[in-house]
Amino acid sequence: MSAYRSVREFDWLMLVLSSAICALGVLQIFSATHDTHYSDAWWKQVIWILAGFVAMWITTLIDYHTLLGQVPILYGLSVTTLIATYVLGMSAFGSRRWIGTTSYHLQVSEFVKLVVVLLVARYMTELKTEQFELIDLLKLGGLVAVPTALVMLQPDLGTALTYLPILVGGIFLAGMRWQYAAAIMVVVALVMPVAYFVVLKDYQRSRVISFLDPSQDPKGSGYQVIQSKIAVGAGALWGRGVTKGTQTQGRFLPVPHKDFIFSAFAEEHGFVGVIVVLGLYFLLLMQIVQNAQTAPDRAGMYICMGIATLLLFHVLVNVGMVVGRMPVTGIPLPLMSSGGSNVLAIFMMLGLVNNVRLRRFVN
Amino acid sequence: MKLHADREEHRLSANGLLRDDTKFASGKIAFFQYAAVGVFLFLITGFWELQVRNPELYQERAMQNSIKAIPVLAPRGKILDRDGRVIVDNHSSFSLFLSRENLKMEHLKPIAEGLNIDYDSLVARVKRFQSRGAPQYQPIAIKEELTPAELAFVDSHKDADTFPELEVIRVQHRLYPRDGLAAHAIGYVGEISEAELNTPEFARFHQGDVIGKDGIEREYNDLLMGVDGQRRVEVDSFGNERGVLAEDKEAIPGKSLQLTIDLDLQAVAELTMENRRGAVVALDPRSGEVLAMVSRPAFDPNLFAGRIRSKDWKDLIDNPDHPLMNRAIQAQQAPGSTFKPIMALAGLETGAIDDNFHVSCGGGGTFYGRYFHCWSKHGSIELHRGLAQSCDTYFYNVGNRLGIDRIAQYAEMVGYGHKTGIDLPHEADGLVPSSRWKIRNFRERWYPAETISVSIGQGATTVTPLQMAAAIGGMAIGGVWNQPHLVREGARLIPARHAELNQENIKKVILGMYGVVNEPGGTGVRAHLVGVNVAGKTGTAQLASNEVLKGTKIGQTMKDNAWFVGFAPMESPEIVVATLFEGGQHGQLAAPIVRDVLKAYFDKKQRLGQLPREQIASLPAPLPSQLLRPTAAPRGSGAPNP
């Protein structure tokens, strides 16, 4: 096992960027909840962030090669826990995503993201051939499909969907014949309509409909998108000020401290604030990508790129939803949305990236 | 999954091979970077579109979401009696309104069901508002006097996701006296109707406005109504108020209005007419101030205070006694013998008769080939007894000497045949026939025989009770007719009419009217009072078509009207009271009505004459329910209740 060089090699920029995003998130959580009965959400978030720092430190310390060696165990553990969650888990908002006590519960599917990242990284590094063959696709796809299906059953389509870009990103990096890619496209195109009517539940279908035409269902999912767009638009260039957004404060926005935190932020901080935060996210992503480029080995690169892809997907889907350019899927905005599991999981991912970084000069 | 690679990896990474190995992906990583740039640009253009390109649109919609304009309804002014006691008050209650800014037609059905409102009429009502171009902030009242259960329904459904258009507003409702006290003079308020909106008088109002519909409420609507204000509040998605933004327009409450009506007198007058049809008008001839105005049967104006139920309205309209009609100003009836003082005055003033003019009454007389009956045989009779005993034969002769046009001239002088100009809507003119009137309306010349009927207040002559009180009162004070009015200040008064009359002639007529009440054989002795000299005149008037209708079914129900008009004190009249007792059959039966009102007036004067006005104002108002006891005796003997 290699020793890391020194604390100076720690990715301080990444820490600063993520802390800044977290701070803005806490501010927005405070603003969105200060006169509701969620008013303690902001300091709970602070505690989760502090816990996240610790988790990041720990994931930095354990050599990622060791972690990769434990993938079968981690994978087995994930699948077992997901099944247990499905069977025993407590119901929250009509779906079974949580495990634990009422006040501090953990959303298992968030941590499974880490396992999927490690799984893909490990599989890709063990490829014998130059290219990712169809058989690999079936094998790896099958491995990823199991937790994805279990999370979908909870039902939590949004989180389940986040596993797929890790897989797709990995395959893209590994390289695959374009014929296969095309074939997959065709299959997906054929399966989509079937999935729409067979797999999706009513509320999920209505989300798709309302994404395509929000005005059709202004009181359901369309209502959320309309209210979110109103909030964003009302923010204009400079925003309406902290605790001054009527859409946020009047709770016209659904869950303005969780999934729709960015529309609350956009209302109160305006286009300027949006550019700042999106800029922070972009820099964070580029920092992770830079760590991927300097990774000591394929495994490290796959880990970093898997995490980068996952974060990009999160930002795209969540922020896209806020401006009505993505359907409402109910996935949180990394580091900003109130919620402990997500914060912990993201910090652990950043820890993994650091882990890779600290071992880049190892010889 | 195979684990054998683990050790090999380490070895490879140790010799640095794997590090270079990542180079194969550098192009793809670059591609990822470009993709990330693309994603962020895609997102930023989304924000650009909303926040920079057209933020006004969304700011407007955010405002529509969170800003609710709530009308602040101005309470109407109170209506007080001449002593400052409240006749018409307001009480506050909750009304349900639909805010039109976020009204959705498809919500009407569940709202109607939840609140037990007729769906079709609700839809019709909403459409009416929308077609009328009423200002957008003006909400639609859909239910008044909400019960706690209904309030709870509204409270739990007014959130942004359910029915954000529901709005409960505290409103001031009119509270009128019970039992229809002064109902006709005061009138009532109601929501403006479609038909009224199309008339010039009401054109400046808006759909949904509550306006005075009749009586004082209508005549002085602008004064009483006040101006509604508007409040803009910020609400959350549950419809709860988060704060007041601005009192955009403050509500200006209506002004209080002090009437000339004396509640004590009014209450007594109401009692005297209990279970009767007719009217009582009491006024001060020196000023024209109306002290009491009663019309019976009455209605309950409280029925109109909200929106009247159609059944109540139908009952009022279908009632053959026409309770909505203000008989004091709208009943046009033949004055009968109450016309004789005017005949007497005309005769004396024109010189047609003098003190020595005697007539022999043998139960009637023949004029122009037709025999006209007197109600009795008076023998040789002159002016004084002719008035006191109401001899028809005497006045047939007076009329015959005067001729119709001189009769008409004096009738019009005292105010008959045209409106008094009282500050009430829908006053009737009455009718004074003349040769010109005959030609104009019938293209026929006047036959002298027709004059004989007019001489005793029959024929085409009709007057209203108010006209009679004003006419006799003005004559009694020497020939000055003040315009009757109902408010102490602010009435648009036309100057009093003065007539150049010989005061001696007036005195002779008044003495004759004194005889009516105070001398043996007088027809109105039932109006006698101890301690004050009352003068008056009875009238028993046949209905216009009595002759024709005799023997028919309707004819039997059409009994003669009884009139009495009296004033006191005879020497310097302060009050004149006229009463029409429809179907009362004989004027002497109307006399006690006037007596009771006069007695109440003088009792009160004696009781309170020394008290300053402020103390009178603090006296309790007579509650009609308390007063409506079988005994019609006016209050007055007891000490005042402080």
List, for residues A269-304, the tens digit of each pLDDT value. 999 999 999 999 999 999 999 999 998 888 999 999
The pLDDT value recorded for residue A221 is: 64
B277 and B364 fall within a common domain: yes
Residue B504's pLDDT band (cuts 50, 70, 90):
very high
Tell me how close the Cα of A205 comes to any Cα of chain B, in angstroms.
21
The better pLDDT of the pair B623, B148 is held by B148
CATH code where residue B193 lies:
3.90.1310.10
Residue A298 in domain: yes
Q: Which residues form the domain of B361?
A: 263-297+326-627
Residue A99's pLDDT band (cuts 50, 70, 90):
low
Please, what is the average pLDDT of chain B? Answer: 85
List Cα–Cα distances, A325 to A156, A208, B45, in angstroms.
20, 12, 10
Q: A304: nearest CA in chain B?
A: B29
Overall average pLDDT of the B251-260 stretch: 92
B365 and B464 fall within a common domain: yes
Do the Cβ atoms of B62 and A251 come within 8 Å? no
**Whether pLDDT at B138 is above 80:** no
Q: Which of B254, B198, B264 is nearest to B222 (CA)?
A: B254
User: Which of these three, B258, B282, B310, is where a domain ends?
Assistant: B258
Q: Which of residues 288-347 of A touch B (CB under 8 A)?
A: 289, 292-293, 295-301, 305, 308-309, 312, 315-316, 319-320, 323-325
In B448-503, beta strands by DSSP E: 480-481, 497-498
**DSSP element (H, E) containing B188:** strand B188-191
Residue A1 in domain: no
**Whether pLDDT at B594 is above 60:** yes
The better pLDDT of the pair A98, B407 is held by B407
Residue B51 in domain: no
Angstrom distance (rounded) from CA A242 to CA A244: 5
Determine phi and psi for B98, rounding to 5 degrees.
-105, 120
The pLDDT value recorded for residue B629 is: 35
**Whether pLDDT at B1 is above 80:** no
Angstrom distance (rounded) from CA B220 to CA B291: 18
**Whether pLDDT at A265 is above 70:** yes
Q: Give yes or no: B337 in active site.
A: yes
Q: pTM (2 decimals)?
A: 0.68
Share of chain A above pLDDT 90, in %: 50
B556 and B575 fall within a common domain: yes
**Whether pLDDT at B8 is above 70:** no
Residue B158's pLDDT band (cuts 50, 70, 90):
confident
Instruction: Say if A281 is an interface residue toward chain B (CB within 8 Å).
Output: yes
The pLDDT value recorded for residue A219 is: 54
B447 and B559 fall within a common domain: yes
The pLDDT value recorded for residue B610 is: 58
List, for residues A64-77, the tens digit of each pLDDT value. 999 999 999 999 99
Structure tokens at A119: 């799984």
Among B32, B44, B50, whose Cβ lies nearest the Cβ of A289? B32
The pLDDT value recorded for residue B186 is: 95
B153 and B279 fall within a common domain: no
Q: Strand, helix or coil at A238?
A: coil
If one counts every other C-beta atom within 10 angstroms of the C-beta of residue B602, the result is 21
- Which residues does chain A have within 8 Å of residue B35's beta carbon, measured at their own beta carbons? 312
B491 and B520 fall within a common domain: yes
B226 and B270 fall within a common domain: no
Q: Strand, helix or coil at A133?
A: coil
Indicate which of A34, A68, A274 best probes the interface with B, i.e. most B CBs within 10 Å of its own CB.
Answer: A274
Only one residue has tokens 């902290």, namely A242
CATH code where residue B588 lies:
3.40.710.10
Do the Cβ atoms of B22 and A247 come within 8 Å? no
Could you please report the per-residue DSSP string of A19-60? Answer: HHHHHHHHHHHHHHHTTSTTTTHHHHHHHHHHHHHHHHHHHH
Q: Which of residues 60-89 of B touch A (CB under 8 A)?
A: 61-63, 65-67
Using CA of residue B140, residue B143, residue B146, residue B150, what is the dihedral sign? negative
Tell me how close the Cα of B22 comes to any Cα of chain A, in angstroms.
5
CB A298 within 8 A of CB B22: yes
Could you please report the per-residue DSSP string of B431-473? Answer: B---HHHHHHHHS-PPPHHHHHHHHTT-TT-BB-HHHHHHHHH
Angstrom distance (rounded) from CA A160 to CA B289: 88
If one counts every other C-beta atom within 10 angstroms of the C-beta of residue B436, the result is 12
Give the number of domains in chain B.
Answer: 2
B2-6, B101-105, B379-383, B534-538: the lowest-pLDDT one = B2-6
List, for residues B43-60, the tens digit of each pLDDT value. 999 999 999 998 899 888
Residue B60 in domain: no
Q: Which of A202, A158, A59, A31 is nearest to A118 (CA)?
A: A59
Instruction: Say if A76 is an interface residue toward chain B (CB within 8 Å).
Output: no
Residue A363 in domain: no
**For residue A13, what are the β-bridge partners?**
none
Residue B43 in domain: no
B344 and B407 fall within a common domain: yes
Q: Are strands B79-80 and B257-258 parallel, antiparallel or unpaired?
A: parallel
User: Which of these three, B205, B229, B258, is where a domain ends?
Assistant: B258
The better pLDDT of the pair B192, B101 is held by B192
The better pLDDT of the pair B184, A137 is held by B184
B202 and B286 fall within a common domain: no
B220 and B281 fall within a common domain: no
Residue B17's pLDDT band (cuts 50, 70, 90):
very low
Residue B62 in domain: no
A60-74, B349-363, B549-563: the lowest-pLDDT one = B549-563
B480 and B603 fall within a common domain: yes
The better pLDDT of the pair A272, A258 is held by A272
Name the amino acid, one letter, at B513. Answer: M
Residue B292 in domain: yes
Angstrom distance (rounded) from CA B215 to CA B172: 20
Indicate which of A116, A244, A252 best probes the interface with B, i.e. most B CBs within 10 Å of its own CB.
Answer: A252
**Whether pLDDT at B586 is above 80:** yes
Do the Cβ atoms of B29 and A305 come within 8 Å? yes
Tell me how close the Cα of A108 comes to any Cα of chain B, in angstroms.
23
The better pLDDT of the pair B483, B195 is held by B483
Do the Cβ atoms of A363 and B242 come within 8 Å? no
B223-232, B391-400, B588-597: the lowest-pLDDT one = B223-232
List, for residues B165-208, the tens digit of each pLDDT value. 888 888 888 889 888 899 999 999 988 888 888 888 887 888 77
Q: Are strands B364-367 and B370-373 parallel, antiparallel or unpaired?
A: antiparallel
Name the amino acid, one letter, at B234. Answer: E
The pLDDT value recorded for residue A281 is: 97
* Catalytic residue of the set B99, B295, B337, B390: B337
**Whether pLDDT at A2 is above 50:** no
Overall average pLDDT of the B424-436 stretch: 94
B190-194, B278-282, B290-294, B504-508: the lowest-pLDDT one = B190-194
If one counts every other C-beta atom within 10 angstroms of the C-beta of residue B400, the result is 18
Do the Cβ atoms of A229 and B50 come within 8 Å? yes
Residue A308 in domain: yes
Overall average pLDDT of the A77-87 stretch: 86
Angle between helices A221-235 and B55-66 (to 10 degrees): 120
A296-300, B10-14, B513-517, B631-635: the lowest-pLDDT one = B631-635
- Which residues does chain A have within 8 Å of residue B240's beta carbon, measured at their own beta carbons? none
Instruction: Say if A71 is an interface residue toward chain B (CB within 8 Å).
Output: yes
Q: Which residues form the domain of A198?
A: 7-358
Angstrom distance (rounded) from CA A184 to CA A191: 10
The pLDDT value recorded for residue B463 is: 96
The pLDDT value recorded for residue B308 is: 73
B390 and B535 fall within a common domain: yes
The pLDDT value recorded for residue B38 is: 95
∠B322-B326-B329 over CA atoms, to 5°? 135
**Whether pLDDT at B474 is above 80:** yes
Residue B450 in domain: yes
User: Which of these three, B258, B287, B313, is where a domain ends?
Assistant: B258
CB B488 within 8 A of CB B361: no
Among A175, A234, A289, whose Cβ lies nearest the Cβ of B29? A289
List Cα–Cα distances, B211 to A336, B189, B204, B227, B422, in angstroms.
57, 5, 11, 12, 20
A189-203, A338-352, B279-293, B616-630: the lowest-pLDDT one = B616-630
Determine phi and psi for B462, rounding to 5 degrees.
-140, 150
Do the Cβ atoms of A251 and B18 come within 8 Å? no
Residue A51 in domain: yes
Residue B19 in domain: no
Tell me how close the Cα of A340 comes to any Cα of chain B, in angstroms.
26
Among A65, A227, A312, whose Cβ lies nearest the Cβ of B9? A65
Residue A216's pLDDT band (cuts 50, 70, 90):
low
Give the number of domains in chain A.
Answer: 1
- Residue B30 contacts by C-beta under 8 Å, 6 or more apart in sequence? none
- Residue A344 contacts by C-beta under 8 Å, 6 or more apart in sequence? A48, A51, A52, A55, A106, A110, A111
